[in-house]
């Protein structure tokens, strides 16, 4: 994996942590939720209520921002504020230099 790909993956994970509720749980909560979802799927399968996924169908949903999403955004904002304006203005250029990407 190139340094640019690694940076892209890191940005994707940070975005997921900020906006996706499934990424905003502790390891213990993750395991409990995983077990619960798998148990629900198994019970639906055993009872004959399991629905096969419709091919080609698209569904949309609207989510209200959760308290954890707001908290994650605040944590990231606080961390960026702690870096200081001087560092933030040079962060993009220094990151490209570190990765060996010409500007």
At 53, is the pLDDT very low, low, confident or very high (cuts 50, 70, 90)?
low
Structure confidence by residue, pLDDT tens digits, 54-88: 566 677 777 777 888 888 888 888 988 888 878 87
Tokens of 90: 């040079």
Q: What domain range includes position 98?
A: 65-103
Q: What is the pLDDT of residue 55?
A: 62
pTM attached to this predicted model: 0.46
Residue 92 lies in a domain: yes
Q: Is residue 73 part of a domain?
A: yes
Within a domain: 8: no
Provide the number of structural domains found in the chain: 1
> What average pLDDT does range 22-28 have in this prediction?
83
Q: Are 13 and 60 in contact (CB under 8 A)?
A: no
Residue 18 lies in a domain: no
| Upper half-sphere CA count for residue 88 (Cβ side, 13 Å) | 9
Residue 83 has a pLDDT of: 82
Is residue 40 included in any domain, yes or no? no
Q: Which two tokens stand for residue 46?
A: 């055993």
Helix locations, 1-103, DSSP H: 3-19, 27-47, 67-83, 85-99
Task: Give me the phi and psi of 66, to 5 degrees please.
Answer: -80, 165
Which pLDDT value is given to residue 50?
A: 66
User: Both ends of the chain: CA-CA distance in Å?
Assistant: 21
């Amino acid at each position: 994996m190139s340094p640019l790909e690694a940076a892209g993956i890191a940005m994707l994970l940070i975005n997921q942590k900020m906006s996706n509720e499934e990424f905003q749980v502790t390891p213990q909560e993750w395991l409990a939720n995983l077990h619960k979802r798998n148990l629900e799927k198994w019970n639906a399968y055993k009872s004959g209520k399991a629905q096969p996924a419709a091919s080609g169908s698209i569904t949309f949903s609207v989510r209200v921002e959760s308290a954890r999403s707001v908290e994650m955004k605040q944590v990231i904002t606080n961390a960026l504020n702690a870096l200081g304006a001087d560092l933030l203005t040079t962060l993009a250029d220094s990151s490209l230099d570190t990765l060996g990407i010409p500007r």
